[in-house]
Amino acid sequence: MAKNLDSLFRRFWWEFKDNGKKKFTPKSLKAICLPKSMGGLGLKRMVSFNYALVTKYAWFLLNDSTSLWKDVISKRYLKSKTFLEVLPKSSDSCFWKSLLKQRDFLRSSIYFQINNEISTKVWTDP
């Protein structure tokens, strides 16, 4: 979906025609997506924006212990496992599958502080 939105944006910006001929557009997509303070239009690439949002929700699953959202997701998908341990199923929603795809990135970006040996899983925690 995000790739389709990026594609529509590119077509809107560059594929307009005047009397059957394409017009010259002097700005690249990279320049357009820069912040306004840096001379761009401040637009966001949907693929990158979606990646950031999904990663944010995956981070909430790992860290936020008091939210209702985490309780609902935990009961529906995690059961007795952690977010890093659960396996994907074909019956999972698209949103849940996209969260699971972010686990490798999160594993490479997080660390655990060992407070006691009871809650630490030496063989499975990153």
Between 61 and 113, the more confident residue is: 61
Beta-bridge mates of residue 18: 21
Position 118 in a domain: no
Summarised one tens digit per residue, pLDDT across range 21-52 is 666 666 777 888 888 999 888 888 888 888 88
DSSP of 78-92: ITTS-TTTPPP-TTS
Q: Is residue 75 located within the same domain as residue 25?
A: no
Q: Is residue 31 located within the same domain as residue 52?
A: no
Q: Is the dihedral of CA 7, 12, 18, 20 positive or negative?
A: positive
Position 101 in a domain: yes
Give residue 119's pLDDT: 64
Segment of 39-48, 84-93, 116-125 carrying the highest mean pLDDT = 84-93
Q: Is residue 28 located within the same domain as residue 65?
A: no
Nearest to 101 by CA among 45, 66, 53: 53
Q: Print the domain residue range for 19.
A: 2-38
Q: Is residue 52 located within the same domain as residue 105?
A: yes
Position 28 in a domain: yes
Distance CA 3, CA 47 (A): 6
The yes-or-no verdict on residue 126 having pLDDT over 60 is no
Give residue 29's pLDDT: 77
Distance CA 75, CA 107 (A): 22
Phi-psi region of 79 (alpha: psi -120 to 50; beta: other; left: phi over 0): left
Give residue 124's pLDDT: 62
Q: What 8-state DSSP symbol labels residue 24?
A: P
* Predicted model pTM: 0.65
Answer for the pair 58, 95: CB distance below 8 angstroms, yes or no.
no
Give residue 37's pLDDT: 93
Position 122 in a domain: no
